Every structure is written in C-alpha cells, then in structure tokens.
Amino acid sequence: MRLQQYITEIFDSKVKISSDVKKGEYYDYDFSINDTEYEANISVITIPNDKDFNKWVIDFQALSDTLSTTDITNTGHVFQVFAAMFKCIKDFAKREKPTSDIIMYAKIDEPSRVKLYDKLFKQKSKEFGYSLFKKEKKTNFIKYILTKI
C-alpha cells in the first residue's frame, strides 16, 4: 500500500458528528470516540470598523465531567480525533464556503502535535479548498494560517 493511500484511509472518518450552526458566525461540532467526548468550534473573528478583516479560527477540546482540555490526552486515538476534526472542517468549508483565511494553533511545548499539524495541513488542506500559507512561531504557540486556493 502506498503512503498516500494509507493516509487517505486513516482520514476516512466513520465518526458521526453533530453540529450547531449560525452561518457566517460559528460552527460548533460534537463527536465521541470510545468514551471520550470532543467539541470542535469554528468561529469568525472580526475587527470592528474593518469590514475586510475576518478570519475563521478553529479549536477543539476533549470534554469530561469535570474538565475540558486542549492538551494532549494520550487516549491512543489521535488519528481518529484528527479524522473527525478534518470531517468537521470539510463540512464547515462545504456549508460556509469561506473566502477568508482559516487559523489554527498548536502549543510549542507539544512537539508531536506540531509535527502532526505540519504534515496534515500540507497534505490534507487541499481537500477542503485551502493550502498552508504560513506557519508563524510565536512565544508559546505555532500559528497556522490556511489560505483559500
């Protein structure tokens, strides 16, 4: 099996997602993998008095009865989680048809996540009509900017 085919199969998510949408403002997704609940949020950020500035920001977190976290959870389901996330992003892109940039962050102190984001955005973002435009290193995080192609 070729590597690209293997990657495609990994990201062919069977995870069911549910969504709450206010078109033009936010897309909230929920999904479950084994006994862990996850929430993904894609929301627009605007600057008052600047009609040309709007960016979509993506974040997600694992949920539990007492805690929600964006930290690595070590559940052993990283590919299933990212497959579900990409399913959410593809759904968002199909429904919203955004023309502005999409931004996602990774903590610098999580090198395995940074490495995964690097590979995923380079290889998979074209599936939802974007390409990795820029990766900016900040003090505590890496900022990924995806641009419409």
Confidence band (pLDDT; 50, 70, 90) for 63?
confident
The CATH number of the domain holding residue 101 is: 3.40.630
Give the C-alpha separation, 92 to 34, whole Å: 24
Residues near 96 by beta carbon (within 8 Å), at least 6 away in sequence: 23, 24, 27, 56
Q: Tell me if 106 is assigned to some domain.
A: yes
| Number of compact structural domains in the chain | 1
Its domain, for residue 95, covers 3-58+74-148
Percent of the chain with pLDDT over 70: 79
Average of per-residue pLDDT values in the chain: 81
Q: Tell me if 63 is assigned to some domain.
A: no
**Mean pLDDT, range 100-128, rounded to an integer:** 85
Q: Tell me if 144 is assigned to some domain.
A: yes
Q: Tell me if 100 is assigned to some domain.
A: yes
Residue recorded with tokens 């962050």? 105
Q: Tell me if 85 is assigned to some domain.
A: yes
Q: Tell me if 124 is assigned to some domain.
A: yes
Q: Tell me if 65 is assigned to some domain.
A: no
**Mean pLDDT, range 52-81, rounded to an integer:** 73
